[in-house]
């Protein structure tokens, strides 16, 4: 199947219908597949198992949650990009290291700038946000 042939999933919400709710029409047999996933008026799937099988019902509920799960994933992807952008801007404005990510020790205290006898260290104020950006910053 090519990308052009793929169709969009049935819009949510999707609901679980138990065997007791079957109307005798449509597809699925209550004794073999006691739970159906209904979306937009259509039977989307049947979950095979015993009526008393709590795993079958849990699986059906998990499948039925797919539209909401996908929508939440999409919202989180957008928020992640926005947060990483804001974090990138924030570390660039760090007042302790002037956005360089480097600070210098002077008598066991962090100070901006370097003079003879001082040691370069990672900026304590923005070291952790920079590590997050190094790990997750490139979202392309």
For 52-75, write each residue's pLDDT tens digit: 778 888 999 999 999 999 999 999
**Average per-residue pLDDT for the chain:** 80
Domain, as residue range, for 89: 81-136
- What percent of the chain stands above pLDDT 90? 34
How many structural domains compose the chain? 2
Looking at the structure, do residues 87 and 132 belong to the same domain, yes or no? yes
Q: For residues 112 and 134, which has the higher predicted lDDT (pLDDT)?
A: 134
pLDDT at 100: 87
72, 79, 88, 135, 136 from 139: Cα distances, Å: 18, 12, 13, 10, 7
Looking at the structure, do residues 86 and 112 belong to the same domain, yes or no? yes
pLDDT at 79: 95
Decide if 44 contacts 38 (C-beta within 8 A): yes
Give pTM, 2 decimals.
0.65
Helix (H), strand (E) at residue 69? helix 66-92
* Domain assignment of residue 2, yes or no: no
**pLDDT confidence tier of residue 122, bands split at 50, 70 and 90:** confident
The Cα–Cα gap between 39 and 66 comes to 11
Lowest mean pLDDT among 48-57, 76-85, 116-125: 116-125
Residue 139 in tokens: 């979202």
99, 115, 134 from 94: Cα distances, Å: 5, 20, 16
Q: For residues 32 and 133, which has the higher predicted lDDT (pLDDT)?
A: 133
The Cα–Cα gap between 35 and 99 comes to 57
The Cα–Cα gap between 60 and 14 comes to 10
Looking at the structure, do residues 58 and 94 belong to the same domain, yes or no? no
3, 63, 90, 101 from 9: Cα distances, Å: 13, 12, 39, 46
Q: Which residues of 43-56 are buried (b: 16+ CB within 10 A; e: fewer)?
A: bbbbbebeeeeeeb
* Domain assignment of residue 109, yes or no: yes
The Cα–Cα gap between 99 and 123 comes to 9
Model confidence at 26: pLDDT above 70:
no
């Amino acid at each position: 199947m090519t990308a052009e042939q793929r169709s969009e999933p049935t819009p949510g919400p999707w609901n679980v219908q138990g065997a007791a709710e079957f109307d005798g029409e449509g597809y699925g047999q209550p004794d073999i597949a006691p739970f159906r996933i209904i979306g937009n008026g259509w039977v989307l799937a049947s979950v095979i198992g015993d009526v008393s099988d709590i795993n079958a019902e849990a699986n059906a509920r998990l499948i039925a949650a797919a539209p909401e799960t996908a929508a939440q994933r999409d919202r989180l992807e957008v928020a992640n990009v926005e947060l990483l952008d804001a974090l990138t801007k924030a570390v660039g404005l760090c007042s302790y290291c002037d956005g360089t990510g480097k600070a210098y020790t002077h008598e066991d205290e962090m100070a901006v700038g370097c003079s003879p006898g001082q040691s370069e260290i990672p900026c304590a104020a923005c070291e952790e946000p920079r590590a997050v950006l190094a790990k997750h910053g490139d979202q392309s």
